[in-house]
Structure 1
Amino acid sequence: MSEKPVAARPPERAEVFPPTLREVMLRPWWLGMLAFALLVAAVFAWLGQWQLGRAIDTNPPPPGATEQVRPLADVVAPGAYLPEPLVGQRVEVTGTFVPGDFLVVSSRYNDGVAGYWVTGQLRLDATAPTSLAVALGWAADRESADAAASALNDAPADTVTLVGRLIADEGPAAPPREGPATEMTRMSPAALLGWWHDVDDLNVYRPYLVADAGETLPDGLVAIDSPAPEEGSGVNWLNVFYAAEWAIFAGFAFYMWYRLARDAWEKEVEALEEAAAGAGPPGD
């Protein structure tokens, strides 16, 4: 009696174990990506530290520093921007007003009342032609302001010494639609320069001076209300906010590395599970 041949058993399929998330993160590619994330985070951290250093004033001006009268040349140079701690600084300056350059600026407020400023070009005693825009006085109506400006333009040019508060340039603006094309609503030396005379090779200060009330103030004008600036806290909160943003960006660099590595691990595990399910159990 012949023996029946024994059927060959199919080879057992080796069980495949998916990698762990830690194993995927320790692969050379993801270690390289981690090093790149560290570099990006370091740059963001440096930017945050830089912003934080600018946010805190380690050498703030002493209280009341703006009320000490200083020479104009010691505070700011012609053409330079007025630093923030010096906005509102009281200064002294000597010069001569240029006849014909007393102009009116509208939309000026004194104690909450709308009115007009009369301004002039003060030519300073300097080696090179240099001028400073000066706000001399305030009027409640345009007629009084125009009359005061006309009287000043007709007066003889004498050397004067002024004391007042230095204010940053407001920047020029287009005239209002309902007003004449020559109307100025901003106190801007750049805009006034376009109307001044004898301006060839002229150096002009960017800030302007709000002069104290003098004895020669024309009829119809009153002193401009110019209170002392409020004392700052020494902390720039906008820069603090920027520093916090950079810290968040640094943390986000690590999160992106983790999220990308996790996505790659999940896709690899899913592909292995689909391959195992498609192959079926042994013997099929």
Structure 2
Amino acid sequence: MPEVFPPTLREVMLRPWWIGMLLLCLVVAGVFAWLGQWQLGRALQTSPTPPGASEEVQPIADVTQPGEYLPDPLVGQKVAVSGWWVGEDFVVVDSRFNDGVEGYWVTGQLRLADGEAGPDQLGPVSLAVALGWAPTRDAADAAASALETLVAESAGDPVELTGRLIADEGPALPPRGAEPDTLTTMSSAALLGRWHDIEQLSVYRPYLVWDEPAVGLTAISSPAPAGGSGVNWLNIFYAIEWAVFAGFAFYLWYRLARDAWEKEVEDLQDAAAIPQPPDPAAR
């Protein structure tokens, strides 16, 4: 029986097919490496907010636009805005803590005056506003009713507000056993479903915490945000992930080539172990 000499792993890896697969892995790893470098650049180029910058009141149009997410450096920025209240839309939000005490927020729909959202404003624009905190639901409902009456009597007089912009918290399901329309998060999307006169309405994603509480309510504790660092650790984590993916592309190529080599060696060994029939020509 002739002796079988199986190929080495190196010989298998140098075959055209596996060289082509290696080149493909190089391309994939290069893309991952570029993405990692891009994430790292974003992490290191992040400029920390100067101390006290969030306390300088700015027009809301200079900070964000309707429908846009509020960037992290601008969360907590104080802004000025003017408009009028939509009288039927004072909504109570449950489970709101104020200096560690659980209670309720009274919120309202502020319809912005023309041009407040910027020169490109088209159609009506609204902003959700947290007007104040109450310790009990009855107190919050009473304040909301009083505000509705006050707005109705003032015939929608314009108001000017200053407050802190806070990122939208997103909608959430009501707690077990609560009424289906119970709100527990400050979500512009959820409040929009409760508001009136919303045809063609544009809405800001963040909400405003009013500096001056409405009558019958306590001011909402809203301290200045802590100054940011010069590094965005989330982007650094993503950069590390891309580096791991790039390394995994080479490992996958090696693992597949090794599996093919092991299978080829096993097949040759199995074929060598099968007895060969006698050669009739040798008789």
Q: TM above 0.5, one fold?
A: yes
Report whether the alignment pairs 1:150 with 2:138.
no
Give structure 1 stretches of 5+ with no counterpart.
1-12
Give how far 1:193 is off: 2.2
Distance 1:22 1:165, change over 3 A: same
AA aligned opposite 1:180: E
CA deviation profile, 1:40-79 (whole Å, cap 9, x unmatched): 2222222222332333344333233212111011111122
In structure 2, how many angstroms separate the alpha carbons of the residues matched to 1:209 and 1:36? 51
> 1:130 is matched by which residue type in structure 2?
V
Q: Distance in 1 between matches of 2:92 and 2:272?
A: 87
Structure 1 residue 51 corresponds to structure 2 residue 39 = yes
Long gaps (5+) in structure 2:
116-122, 277-283
* 2:75 aligned partner: 87
Q: Distance in 2 between matches of 1:58 and 1:258?
A: 38
Structure 1 counterpart of 2:215, from 203, 218, 230: 218
Bigger Cα Rg: 1
1:5: which partner in 2?
A: none
Partner of residue 193, structure 2: 194
Q: 2:101 maps to what in 1?
A: 113
Q: How much does 1:241 deviate?
A: 2.4
Deviation at 1:213, TM superposition (A): 1.9
When the two structures are superposed, what TM-score results if normalisation uses the length of structure 2? Answer: 0.82
Q: Distance in 2 between matches of 1:152 and 1:59?
A: 42
Q: Does 1:245 align with 2:244?
A: no
* Distance in 2, Cα, partners of 1:273 & 1:175: 66
Q: What is the SS of the residue equivalent to 1:163? A: strand
Structure 1 length normalisation: TM-score? 0.81
Which residue does 1:138 correspond to in 2?
133
Query: 1:204 matched to which residue of 2?
Result: 203
Q: Residue 39 in 1 paired to residue 27 in 2?
A: yes
Q: CA deviation at 1:258?
A: 2.8
Identity over the aligned pairs, expressed in percent? 69
Question: Alpha-carbon deviation of 1:137?
Answer: 0.9
Count how many residue pairs are aligned between Structure 1 and Structure 2.
265
Is the 2:165–2:206 Cα contact (8 Å) retained in structure 1?
yes
Listed one character per residue, the Cα deviations across residues 156-213 of structure 1 (whole Å, up to 9, x for unaligned) are: 2332211100111222233334333333222222222233232222222121110002
AA aligned opposite 2:124: P
Following the alignment from structure 2 to structure 1, what is the Cα–Cα distance between the partners of residues 194 and 85?
14
Q: Which residue of 1 aligns with 2:228?
A: 232
